[in-house]
Homo-oligomer: A and B are copies of this chain.
Amino acid sequence: MVPVNELEHPAREAIVLEDVLFALSDPVRLDLVRQLRESSLTAASCTTLDPSVPKSTKSHMFKVLREAGVIRNVPEGRNRRLSLRRDDLDARFPGLLDAVL
């Protein structure tokens, strides 16, 4: 069993454009990414998702973005810190984030 603590993130070179585009093609996920443009967030303080959305649903959204290489999701105490992988995305697909966000 893999520790549930540290989640898998694709390396910069392994980020696939199609996966990024798909991850960003959902309005709610895109909205979250736009929030992360300013600064990182803890999952708990993520206000793009109204409180009525179950945490399992939120977690799934984070997963799609994380597995596509769009965001980083690292443990921080009892919380999770979500941050945009701007450096990696800018290096791999220059101009993409600027165009989308």
Contact = CB atoms under 8 A, between A and B. Distances in A.
Contacts of A10: none
Contacts of A93: 99-100
Interface of A: 17-19, 21-22, 24-27, 30, 93-96, 98-100
Given A18-B30, A21-B30, 7 more contacts: A18-B26, A21-B21, A21-B22, A21-B100, A93-B99, A96-B96, A96-B99
A22 B99 CA distance: 15
B18 A27 contact: yes
Contacts of A18: 24-27, 30
A95 B97 CA distance: 9
